């Protein structure tokens, strides 16, 4: 019998790390799936397929046709649709699945967070008075801020916002993390930023802006994560590897 096919749903640093860990095992044949949103994706340590599956049904079909033995959901915590589809496809096919999610950031002493449920709420939370806003929520939902054109925006994203925003006072900054705290502090100070808008993505790569805002005493409007899907959860790669061992072990070794 050849190596077991494993599907990794990716688009995150964690997915790349999982892919590396699984690729090191000769009994596994990982395939990494990307949505195809990033114009120049980073090189990956395993074979990659790109593009949507066509909903939960399409993903279920893909799992069956590829005889996948395991699915690792390592998408971004805000990518709620694909993880919900993964939960449905796993339930329908019986393919064991586990979601690897980085823990959310926790409020610390000195943080001036206003937590909101959605990006639309973040727009309202900016208020009526014009402010200088650092918008670091990614490009996909940036258009919501067109509803508040009174503010001046510094908008950072990996790729340009498309279609371009029609805000009267905005500047785009194209950059890929990780971003360190000192550089973030320098950026916030240099641009005279008065409020930061961010998603509670968790992880170290984009925490610099949160720590820098705390240091300067700036408020942060922080969008909370969407609810988790009905999937087994892990926060560390070794938990994913242990689950892989468990589900791929011959039945008698598992005590079945
Ligand atoms: P989403 O709203 O949950 O997914 C939208 C659709 O994109 C899905 O229904 C699926 O299409 C397709 N898709 C998403 N992830 C995929 C994957 N790994 N492989 C194949 N198809 C995928 O996701 P999103 O918020 O647009 O995010 C898209 C990608 O960017 C994800 O891979 C995510 O990890 C990454 N990302 C998102 C954020 C964020 O803030 N949302 C931040 C950083 C990275 P079908 O229904 O046709 O299968």
Pocket of ligand 1 contains residue 9 by CB under 6 Å? yes
Q: How many other C-beta atoms are found inside a 10 Å radius of the C-beta of residue 154? A: 21
How far is residue 60's CA from residue 145's CA, in Å, rounded to a whole number?
Answer: 36
Please check whether residue 62 is in contact with residue 9, taking contact to mean a CB–CB distance below 8 angstroms. Answer: no
What is the CATH topology of the domain spanning 4-102+227-254? Rossmann fold (3.40.50)
Confidence at residue 37, expressed as pLDDT on a 0 to 100 scale: 86
Pocket of ligand 1 contains residue 137 by CB under 6 Å? no
What is the CATH topology of the domain spanning 112-223? Rossmann fold (3.40.50)
Strand residues in 82-191 grouped as ranges (E): 97-100, 112-116, 132-136, 152-157, 170-174
Confidence at residue 33, expressed as pLDDT on a 0 to 100 scale: 98
112-223 and 4-102+227-254 share a CATH fold: yes
Residue closest via CA to ligand 1's atom 23 equals 79
Strand residues in the chain grouped as ranges (E): 4-9, 28-34, 48-50, 70-73, 97-100, 112-116, 132-136, 152-157, 170-174, 195-199, 219-223, 232-234
The Å distance, Cα 80 to ligand 1 centre, comes to 8
| Tens digit of each residue's pLDDT, the chain (256 residues) | 789 999 999 999 899 999 999 999 999 999 999 999 887 788 899 999 999 999 999 999 999 999 999 999 999 999 999 999 999 999 999 999 999 999 999 999 999 999 999 999 999 999 999 999 999 999 999 999 999 999 999 999 999 999 999 999 999 999 999 999 999 999 999 999 999 999 999 999 999 999 999 999 999 999 999 999 999 999 999 999 999 999 998 754 655 5
Is the pTM higher than 0.75? The answer reads yes
How many Cα atoms occupy the beta-carbon half-sphere of 1 within 13 Å?
9
Confidence at residue 112, expressed as pLDDT on a 0 to 100 scale: 98
Confidence at residue 116, expressed as pLDDT on a 0 to 100 scale: 98
């Amino acid at each position: 019998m050849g190596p077991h096919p494993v599907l990794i749903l990716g688009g995150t640093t964690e997915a790349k790390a999982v892919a590396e860990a699984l690729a090191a095992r000769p009994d596994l044949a990982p395939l990494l799936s990307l949505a195809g949103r990033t114009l120049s994706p980073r090189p990956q340590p395993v074979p990659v397929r790109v593009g949507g599956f066509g909903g939960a049904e399409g993903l279920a079909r893909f799992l069956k046709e590829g005889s996948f033995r395991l699915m690792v959901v390592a998408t971004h915590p805000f990518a709620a649709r694909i993880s919900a589809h993964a939960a449905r496809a796993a339930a329908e096919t019986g393919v064991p699945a586990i979601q690897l999610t980085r823990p959310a950031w926790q409020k610390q002493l000195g943080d001036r967070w206003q937590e909101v449920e959605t990006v639309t709420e973040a727009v309202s939370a900016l208020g009526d008075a014009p402010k200088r806003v650092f918008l670091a929520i990614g490009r996909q939902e940036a258009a919501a801020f067109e509803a508040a054109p009174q503010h001046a925006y510094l908008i950072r994203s990996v790729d340009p916002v498309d279609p371009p925003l029609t805000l009267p006072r905005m500047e785009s900054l194209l950059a890929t993390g990780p971003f360190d705290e000192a550089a973030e502090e320098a950026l916030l100070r240099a641009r005279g930023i008065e409020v930061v808008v961010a998603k509670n993505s968790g992880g170290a790569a984009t925490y610099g802006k949160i720590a820098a805002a705390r240091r300067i005493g700036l408020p942060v409007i922080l969008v909370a994560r969407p609810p988790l899907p009905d999937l087994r959860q892990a926060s560390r790669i070794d938990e994913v590897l242990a689950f892989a061992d468990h589900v791929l072990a011959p039945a008698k070794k598992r005590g079945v």
